[in-house]
Structure 1
Amino acid sequence: MRTGILARSAAISAAALLVLTACGGGGDDEGGTGGGGDAASGEKQVNVYGSDGNMGNALGERLSGEGALAGMKGTLPLTELSGDFRDRLLEVTPDLVDYNYAGETYDAIVITALAAQMAGTNDANVFKAFVNGVTVGGDKCEDFASCLEIVNGGGNPDYDGQSGPLSFTDAGEPAQASIGIQQFGPDNRIDDSATRYVLPGDEANATTDEGPAPAPAGTTSPEPLIIGTLLPETGNLAFLGPPEIAGAQLAVNDINAAGGVLGQQVQLIQRDSGDTTTDIATQSVDALLQAGANAIIGAASSGVSLTVIDTITGAGVAQFSPANTSDQFTTYNDNGLYFRTAPPDVLQAEALADLIIEDGNNTVGILALNDPYGTGLAENVANNLQSAGLAEGDIQSIIYDPQAANFDSEVQQMVDFNPDAIVVIGFDESSRIIEGLNSNGIGPQR
């Protein structure tokens, strides 16, 4: 059985030494029952896990029962954001509840701005060749102002931003990524004191191509760089909108405070992405293209991005997602114009599977919504669990329709399977699934 990234991450920080116990049971449970059993009562304790689509305080707000999520763990692309960065996000949006993907959104805009500055043009078909190189080689820098100094000095910046060590691959995505492991407390909110971080992936897989020679220092443009956002203000990922939108605004504020791009202040145009059940994203993309956007930041949902990527990249505009994780984008025919600061599911799946194994679970049920994100992450988690030593029959994956009237059938299949652990990969409908698990005695609530 492999050691796993969770064990290997012990040297990253003292936080990695924490042993989190989900729902009263785990790999180190005092009763020695393995798989989350309760030795005192004889009742089997099922450990429940989530992923980035539902690991946020917004999930707890939809569940009213005391301790409805207590001990539920999960993974999500997450960096240990500095207090200063959080404070500056709160200056933009004072009522922020979560910070999910705020750093990734901020970094997507900074990288775009640096690439345009180095290319000497706002034309995405030109500056796309500089994007990956901004994240590797050269001189380290951690904000737009210091990176701009390197560019103006004729050097190549190696930007490590708010979302961690970026180091893009040739496909325009992180070779290594910071994944947060979080846990809900008895108040149905994320217990920040229990959060820890791991770094799946390998920086050695990053590109070695630092890009073309940059434009001469001092190059200017008669037109401003126009960045549009396609982020969720409505729909089943609306809870991700506020931190992403705050990250976008803060990035543009910082870039413009440092002098802007090519002698012009960057313009930001914000539009709603909606979700896959609406036509909002298509309408928003049309509006952004008509407004002259050079790059579009978003969407958050992989499914939404798949509906608009051809329109965006076909128009010669860059698309840069802070939250897409579907593996489909790694090899998508995007004319070299699609990038993401969020890691592909192969990296999150490794962290999630290692967490499940670390907790001593021997049988695992997976409930995943039927979209590119849900099915892709479910498959990758299952593959990683098998690589860790579980047999194919120890894992049962159930793919559900997120628009279904109820999830009684799927919950009953989990009851019948009677696993040690259940993974819920979904969005806001996860609250109804967890209510069903709780009512059947196999959820986090006890």
Structure 2
Amino acid sequence: MRHLPGFRLVLCAALLATVAGCGPDSDQNSSPTAPVRLYGSDGNMLNGVGALVKNQPRLLDGMKGTAPLIRLTEDFRRRLNNIDPNLHDLAYAGESYDAVVIAALATQLARTTDPEVVKNYIVGVTNFGQPCTAVAECLNLAREGKDLQYVGVTVKTGLSEIGEPSTTTYGTMHFDTNNKINDVLTEYVGAGAPGTASAQPGPAPAKPSTKPTGAPLIIGDLTSHSGGNSESNPPIYAGARLAIKEINDAEGVLEKPVQWLNGDDKTDIEKAKAQLKAHISAGAQIVLGPTTSRVTAGVMEQITSSKVIAISPSATSAQLSTVVDDGRFFRTAPSDVLQGKALADVILRDGTKRISIIAMKGAYGEGLQINVRDELIKAGVPSSAIQTLNYDAPSDDAVAINVSEQVKSIKGFAPDGVLVIGLDESAQVLTQLATAGVDPRKTPAPKAD
């Protein structure tokens, strides 16, 4: 596993004036009909999105992008496959698994399901103490009242003081001629710093003699089984189900099986609020989700006022790092500050000279767009060679969107690279770009340096 090559950003800045492959030449525009390179982010670098453009053969061939993605062990893949043999993607499966396990361990250490107490244990469960990896091993340590450090599938070096990963790994992924991710070409790049993990130990574990209160632990599902983010949800759901199974196979939490409440935030703020209310009424102390940053920000006030705990496996907006959450929101997915650097590096390595970044409106799309743009500028790319546009994304990907004005603007800008930041609706954006002639299939795409 190699580390994030951030030095390349500096190198490109230093050589920009002399090396054609590092950055754009602001004095030269490509022809509007020249082939373009396509780029994506974690919300659309999915086989599910590729399936949505099945009427556009080879449209995504060569498209590159990034997503939080660790090299999963064969053992974990096998266990996931036993839960869902039909998985086509694995993004955020590990993050979802870790979120549920961390919730269970924090509850066992606290010996209560009271969210007011459990929230104080969540960060500490991943820092200090005796390292452990297997669910049964970690639960036994917690039952014995011992400090432990859960080293998870994706949470390897502990959560930070604000409850998000201190380090992560990004996958640089490539679509092939069948509009599918080619796993053979996936590169894994480390990001973050172990030193950002919390330096504050959590509260001492409750003594084993302490009588458990509030059992059973009830976790509500607040992920996107439908709506505009549904294509990314199967691995998230599989990871959560695997964690619940393995926790309960290891005798559960507080002497009882953990209960799972099915649910769906439908990638919509108001529907997520209704689902959260139903979970709380059913006794949930913790919810897994929401899965998108926009929905997460939209329900945060309800999370804090209801005094539950929310752990998102996939909400990545940098804005969530500073949200007012009363210490009740955590995530096992990294901030997009890190993904912005990774995506910028992919673009720079290709020698893309002129880039259009079109992103869905909201915390995720606009936030990551700004992060990528800033990283490119830091590397010496002229701001005049970076175009940014936004569009309204529906909560339901079946609803047609019209980005004709944005596409017209992109065509006039004549980029040799287009980055699309969105969710399932990205398929519509890519199709409309191709229809207007911003299409990598026009001529053979230029090779990366």
Q: Is this a same-fold pair by TM over 0.5?
A: yes
Cα distance in structure 2, aligned partners of 1:161 and 1:48: 33
Amino acid at match of 2:139: L
Count residues with an aligned counterpart: 417
1:70 paired with 2:66, answer no
For the residue of structure 2 that corresponds to 1:432, the secondary structure is: helix
Residue in structure 2 matching 1:133, options 98, 105, 124? 124
Superposed CA offset, 1:333-392 (max 9, x none): 111010000111101111111111111123211000111110100001111111111121
Cα contact 2:32–2:415 (8 A) shared by 1: no
**Equivalent-residue separation in structure 2 for 1:153 and 1:279 (angstroms):** 42
Q: Deviations over 1:227-261 (max 9, x none)?
A: 11101111000112221111111101111111111
Q: Does the residue aligned with 1:98 lie in a helix, a strand or coil?
A: coil
Aligned partner of 1:388 in structure 2 is: 379
1:166 positional shift: 4.6
Equivalent residue in structure 1 for 2:41, among 36, 47, 51: 51
Identity of aligned pairs, percent?
40
Are 1:36 and 1:45, in contact at CA under 8 Å, matched by a contact in 2?
A: no
Question: What is the deviation of 1:36?
Answer: 11
CA pair 411-215 structure 1, distance change in 2 beyond 3 A: same
- Matched residue, 1:14: none
In structure 1, the residue matched to 2:84 is: 93
User: Are 2:416 and 1:416 aligned?
Assistant: no
Give matches, 1:118-197, under 5 Å.
118-197=109-188
Q: Structure 2: how far apart are the matches of 1:330 and 1:300?
A: 15
- Check whether the contact 1:221–1:264 (CA below 8 A) recurs between aligned residues: no
The CA distance in 1 between the partners of 2:7 and 2:401, in whole Å, is 43
Whether contact under 8 Å (2:22, 2:348) holds in the other structure is no
Retained in 1: the 8 A contact 2:155–2:332?
A: no
Indicate the residue corresponding to 2:424 in structure 1.
Answer: 428
**What is the root-mean-square deviation in Å for CA atoms of aligned residues?**
2.2
Q: Structure 1 residues 6, 440: CA separation in 2 closer, same or farther (over 3 Å shift)?
A: farther
TM-score (norm 2): 0.88
Q: How far does the alpha carbon of each residue in 1:240-299 deviate from its partner, in whole angstroms, 9 at most, with x for none?
A: 2221111111101111111111111110101001123x6321211111000110100001
For the residue of structure 1 that corresponds to 2:221, the secondary structure is strand
User: Within 5 Å, which residues of 2 pair with 1:318-397?
Assistant: 318-397=309-388
> Which runs of 5 or more residues in structure 1 are unaligned?
10-31
C-alpha distance in 2 between matches for 1:275 and 1:44: 36
1:207 Cα deviation from its structure 2 partner: 0.7
AA aligned opposite 1:250: L
1:8 Cα deviation from its structure 2 partner: 6.7
Query: Quick check: 1:60–1:188 contact (8 Å CA) kept in 2?
Result: yes
CA distance in 2, matches of 1:83, 1:44: 42
Give the Cα–Cα distance (whole angstroms) in 2 for the partners of residues 35 and 406 of structure 1: 31
Code of the aligned partner of 1:110:
V
Tell me what 2:12 maps to. Answer: none
Deviation by residue 1:31-55 (Cα, 9 ceiling, x = unmatched) = x877799xxx998432110001111
Q: Which has the higher contact order (CA 8 A, sep 6+)?
A: 2
Cα displacement (A) at 1:205: 1.1
Q: 2 CA distance for matches of 1:240 and 1:218? A: 43
Question: Alignment partner for residue 300 of structure 1, among 291, 299, 319?
Answer: 291
SS at match of 1:319: strand
**Partner residue of 1:444?**
440
Are the counterparts in 2 of residues 137 and 210 from structure 1 also a CA contact under 8 Å? yes
Return the alpha-carbon distance in structure 1 between the equivalents of residues 368 and 32 of structure 2. 33
Structure 1 contact 295–317 (Cα < 8 Å) conserved: yes
- Cα distance in 1 between the residues matched to 2:428 and 2:50: 11
Q: Which amino acid aligns with 2:430?
A: I
**Alignment equivalent of 1:106, drawn from 97, 110, 126:** 97
1:289 aligned to 280, 291, 313, which one? 280
Q: 1:239 aligned to 2:238?
A: no
**Equivalent AA in structure 1 for residue 345 of structure 2:** D
Counterpart-to-counterpart distance in 2, 1:260 and 1:188: 42
**Structure-1 residue corresponding to 2:243:** 251
CA shift, 1:149, in A, is 3.1
- Please give the alpha-carbon distance, in whole angstroms, between the structure 2 residues aligned to 1:293 and 1:93: 25
In terms of mean alpha carbon deviation, does 308-317 or 347-356 score higher? 308-317
Question: Would the aligned equivalents of 2:32 and 2:414 in 1 still touch at CA under 8 Å?
Answer: no
The answer as to whether partners of 2:24 and 2:381 remain within 8 angstroms in 1 is: no
> Do residues 261 (structure 1) and 253 (structure 2) align?
yes
SS at match of 1:243: helix
State whether structure 2 residue 51 is matched by structure 1 residue 61: yes
Which residue type is aligned with residue 43 of structure 2? G
Query: Secondary structure at 2:122's aligned position in 1?
Result: helix
CA distance in 2: counterparts of 1:306 and 1:72, whole angstroms: 30
Contact kept? 1:73, 1:181, Cα under 8 Å: yes
Classify 1:444/1:415 alpha carbon distance in 2 versus 1 (closer, same or farther; 3 Å): same
Q: Is the 8 A contact 1:218 1:262 kept in 2?
A: no
Q: Name the SS for the 1:174 alignment partner.
A: coil
Q: TM-score, normalised by structure 1?
A: 0.89
Provide the C-alpha distance between the structure 2 equivalents of 1:296 and 1:36, rounded to a whole number of angstroms: 45
C-alpha distance in 2 between matches for 1:222 and 1:330: 30
SS at the partner of 1:97? coil
